[in-house]
Amino acid sequence: MNGLIFWLPITLVALVLGVGIGYYIKQVFYARKLEKEKTSANRILEEASKKASEIELKSRNEVLEIRQAADVEITRRRNELSREDDRLQKRREELDIRTDRLEKRELNLNKRQSAVDKRANEIEKLHSEQIEELQRISQMSLEEARDLLLAEVEKDTRNDMARIIRQIEAEAREEGEKRARELITTAIQRVASEHVTEVTTSAVPLPSDEMKGRIIGRNGRNIHAFEQIAGVDVIVDDTPEAVTISCFDPVRRETARRALAKLVLDGRIHPAHIEKVLKNEQKEVERIIVEAGEQAAYDAGVPGLHPEILKMLGRLKFRTSYGQNQLAHAVETANLAAVIAAELGADVEVSKAGALLHDLGKAMDHNVEGTHALLGADFARRYGVNPKVVNAIASHHHESDQESVEAAIVEAADAISGARPGARRESLEQYIKRVRTLEDMANSYKGVNQSYALQAGREVRIFVKPEEIDDLESIRLARDIAKQIEETMQYPGQIKVTVIRETRSIDYAK
């Protein structure tokens, strides 16, 4: 206990001394740190002041440069505005001068127009006075004099024209028929084509009538799928063991016919298999078309045609006109044109090419508006065909002017190929309509007593009233009717127009 009392004051004194010494050391350390921070702050302030001075100096220099550049730009703009103002002022003065000139010219024109109108009135007055004087002298009105003069001129001109026409036609017929007969006979003998029997059919034979139900399918799903994919109409009627495929596109119709025949032979008829078979047949028909075009060009002796032209030409294999296959007709026409061109000394190659491609537009006229001659010519021109050949294609039905003798040869060869015996046929309805149209057209002319269509519509004989139609007028009537037939009717070959005038004198001996 005594020891504790002894050490307690010593501990308290030591504690007080430690606290005092610690406080003193802390104050000294804090004073030194404060002095150090104050020195660092002063140094930072000096550096910041120095940088601020530099930035201020640099900013003043930049402001000075910008102000000087702005002054230069303002001076330049003022000069430009001054020059523009001078130019506008000069233009304004020129416009004022031009306006004054136009006003003076307009004034002069008005004066001249007044003088011209006055002179025209005087001339009109003199003309009226002269006409009145002429009418007084002739005792006829102006209309009566004009009608009389025109009637006399028309009568004289008609007589002279008919006489000249008859003389020229007699001479041309005598020489032309002989030469044409030799030429056409030679051409037909050398070509010697067989009768056309190939006709595109759209009837598909069936092994039995039960197959019709399988073609139709449940609720018509098979026939609907087939029509939708093939783009044709399938007609299932009472025809025994056959169905009919109808479509305006002959290639599409042929594809559908081949596909349906394979489906019938295979026996598997359902939408998925129908689509597969149709795709295969489309590829097969396209291959046949290409081969047919190449074979036709080879048979006609026309090399170097563009593949697209050969492909379009091959589509004619499935196209017929009046029962005549158009691809066979094209080859035959090319051979005829080659013979005629050789006989006449014309360009044989141009004639053959023009004749082979003359009906090229028939392969596309069901898809595009326009006549087949112009469509075919545009298509051939697009693929670099000779311009003479293009003209022969476009003009073989006189829808454009013929520019060469080869174009006329193509037209003649086309007519020969279509008009030869057995080349074409037409339906009974079309035949009756054409014959009736021929007779009605002839009966519509004044002075015609009766008309008859003969030789299957290849000739029309017209009987006229002799008291109304004289011999010279009958020649003109025949030419007018023939021209109207050419312009308004479509027909294979040619039609002969014969006008017959008969005068009967009857007397009795008593």
Q: At what angle do helices 348-356 and 326-344 cross, to 10 degrees?
A: 160
For 324, phi then psi, to 5°, come to -95, 125
Q: Longest C-alpha distance within the chain, in Å?
A: 211
- Give residue 193's pLDDT: 47
Q: At what angle do helices 471-488 and 142-191 cross, to 10 degrees?
A: 60
**Residue 308 to residue 161: CA distance in whole angstroms:** 51
What DSSP designation does 469 have?
-
- Positions of E strands within 291-385: 320-321, 324-325
Contacts of 353 (CB under 8 A, 6+ apart): 302, 305, 334, 385, 386, 389
Contacts of 501 (CB under 8 A, 6+ apart): 464, 466, 469, 470, 471, 474
Q: What is the pLDDT along the chain (510 residues), one digit of tens a residue?
A: 556 666 777 777 778 777 778 777 777 777 778 888 888 888 888 888 888 888 888 888 888 889 888 888 999 999 999 899 889 999 999 999 999 999 998 888 888 888 888 888 888 888 888 777 776 776 666 677 677 777 777 777 766 676 677 677 777 766 766 666 566 555 554 554 443 433 444 678 888 777 888 888 888 888 888 888 888 888 887 778 788 888 777 888 888 888 888 888 888 888 888 888 888 888 888 898 889 889 988 888 888 888 898 888 888 888 877 667 888 888 988 998 888 888 888 898 999 999 999 888 888 755 566 788 888 889 889 988 899 999 999 988 888 888 888 988 988 888 887 766 555 555 556 667 778 888 888 899 988 988 888 776 778 899 998 888 888 888 888 889 988 888 888 776 678 899 998 877 777 787
Q: At what angle do helices 405-419 and 387-395 cross, to 10 degrees?
A: 40
Please report the sign of the dihedral spanned by the C-alpha atoms of residue 357, residue 359, residue 363, residue 369.
positive
Amino acid at 413: A
Residue 149, both tokens: 């003069």
Question: How many C-beta neighbours within 10 Å does residue 323 have?
Answer: 17
* Stated pTM of the model: 0.48
> Is the CB of residue 356 less than 8 Å from the CB of residue 331?
yes
Burial profile 451-485: b = 16 or more Cβ within 10 angstroms, e = fewer:
bebeeebeebbbbbeeeebeebbbbebbeebbeeb
> Is the CB of residue 263 less than 8 Å from the CB of residue 234?
no
**Residue 405 to residue 351: CA distance in whole angstroms:** 9
Of 191, 200, 195, 192, which Cα lies nearest the Cα of 317? 200
DSSP calls for 254-293: HHHHHHHHHHHHH---SHHHHHHHHHHHHHHHHHHHHHHH
Ramachandran sector of residue 139 (left: φ over 0; alpha: ψ -120 to 50; beta: rest): left
For 203, phi then psi, to 5°, come to -100, 135
CB-based burial label for 61 (10 Å; 0-12, 13-18, 19+): exposed
